[in-house]
């Protein structure tokens, strides 16, 4: 399987160092199938271009693995980093389908100002500080529009 992936990557990627292609082929053989099914050429290109051929960092393999396969804390499936969305006010990330569902459900449950904090994080809702409150609805509007646009495509 590795040789087949290596051969195809060499054709797709073109002029890159053999070491970089070997690392990527190895990573692609290890990532979960559910993550690979969501992988696209942009993900591959961005990972390839994240370093130059002459100076491949020691953590390139770990970086590629994390970019190609990140677990969603809601559905527990694995997705490429490009299919993950960061929550508002925290660093937790979940897949696009789960973030859409989470925001839809959280918006329906807003009853008062305190319940707005459910929109901050899917893992642990955070208090909204005074300085963030000023931009909260602008951000929320942008996020909702973005999610609705994702639904259309």
pTM: 0.67
> Which two structure tokens, joined as six digits, stand for 12?
């797709």
> Which two structure tokens, joined as six digits, stand for 63?
């970086």
pLDDT at 114 exceeding the cut of 80: no
Domain ranges for the chain, please list them. Answer: 2-68, 81-152
For the chain, counts of helices (H) and of strands (E): 7, 4
For 21, counting Cβ atoms within 10 Å of its Cβ (0-12 exposed, 13-18 middle, 19+ buried), the class is: buried
Q: What is the pLDDT of residues 37-77, one digit of tens each?
A: 888 888 887 888 888 878 888 888 998 888 888 899 899 99
Q: At residue 39, what are phi and psi to the nearest 5 degrees?
A: -75, 140
> Do 68 and 43 contact (CB within 8 A), yes or no?
yes
């Amino acid at each position: 399987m590795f040789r087949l992936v290596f051969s195809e990557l060499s054709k797709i990627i073109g002029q890159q160092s053999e070491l970089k292609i070997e690392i990527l082929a190895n990573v692609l053989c290890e990532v979960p199938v559910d993550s690979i099914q969501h992988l696209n050429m942009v993900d591959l290109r961005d990972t390839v271009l994240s370093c130059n051929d002459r100076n491949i960092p020691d953590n390139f393999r770990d970086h590629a693995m994390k970019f190609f396969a990140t677990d969603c804390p809601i559905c527990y499936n694995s997705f490429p980093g490009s299919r993950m969305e960061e929550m508002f006010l925290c660093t937790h990330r979940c897949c696009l389908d789960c973030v859409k569902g989470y925001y839809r459900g959280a918006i329906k449950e807003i009853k008062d100002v305190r319940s707005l904090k459910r929109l901050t994080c899917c893992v642990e809702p955070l208090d909204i500080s005074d300085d963030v409150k000023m931009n909260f609805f602008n951000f929320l509007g942008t996020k909702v529009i973005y999610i609705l646009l994702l639904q259309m495509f």
